[in-house]
Amino acid sequence: MATKAAHKRLTREYANLQKSPVEYIHASPEETNILSWHYILTGPPDSAYHNGQYWGTLTFPPDYPFAPPAIRMHTPSGRFRCSERLCLSISDFHPKSFNPAWEVSTILLGVLSFMTSEEMTTGSISASEGERKAFAKRSRWWNSTGGGSTSRTIGGKSGNSKGFGAIKAGDGGKRFREQFPELDKENWAWMEKEGIDPQTGKKVAVEGSPSCTPEIDGLRRRGTGGSNAGLAQVVENGQAARDAGQGWLARNKLYLIAGALFAYAVMARLLSDQQKA
């Protein structure tokens, strides 16, 4: 339970954040516990985290601001281990280095600054820029579906729930939705617009999109001309189908045979010249 001083301080800080928002940062306490805060960091431009939506928590001690909070990030980022306490000079790993003048905004700016660096500490991990960009693109899906553990679908359709995207966080996005209902609504609207499968985080194949080889897909785009389609159209479609179904060896067998005969003739000529010598 928070002390009177901690409750007053955190209430004031929340009011300040609402009055003067900090770029790339959104934070708010739980309704029933002023010591438990949820935050969203938005990946800044010119970084591998650009437009990523990173959800985490701050757990403040009862005697805040005379002791620092425990800091965690739950959204996969390629920078931090999910839900593991981070060892930073502004976290509960280093209570003696914490300055009581630092506020929630100061703490979260510190987390964002550390995130965009390459310094390593307890709770941090290494990943390539490409991996971090991939996590950023999937972050909104991950937050609102609990990493694919949701049972909700879009338009009554759902794709394959197995594979790389089927990360099981376990709560179906319930905690995120409770804390950030407006953001959750925006995330689901984005998934519907982009055709993202809630269970996998991948785009759902839509009718008319390529699903086989380019040659077969080309057949779909050819008009049949109705009942008046002539023999030429039938032959063209049949040839395209044969080309699509044949393997590389079958399509190039004449070239391979010619090449083999040429190589045989060259070898025979060389052997003949050696025997004469």
Query: Is residue 173 within 8 Å of 181, Cβ to Cβ?
Result: no
Ordered strands of the 53-59 beta sheet: 25-30, 33-42, 53-59, 70-73
For the stretch 200-204, contacts whose Cβ atoms lie closer than 8 Å and that sit 24 or more positions apart, written own/partner, are 200/148, 200/159, 200/160, 200/161, 200/162, 200/163, 200/165, 200/166, 201/138, 201/141, 201/142, 201/145, 201/148, 201/165, 201/167, 202/159, 202/163, 202/165, 204/154, 204/157, 204/159
Catalytically active residues are 87
Render the burial of 189-206: b for 16+ CB within 10 Å, e for the rest: eebeeebbbbbbbbebee
Query: Is residue 137 within 8 Å of 77, Cβ to Cβ?
Result: no
Beta carbons within 8 Å of 194's beta carbon, 6+ residues apart:
203
- Taking each helix axis from N to C end, the angle separating 104-115 and 4-19, rounded to the nearest 10 degrees, works out to 70
- Closest by CA to 30, choosing from 128, 189, 176, 224, is 176
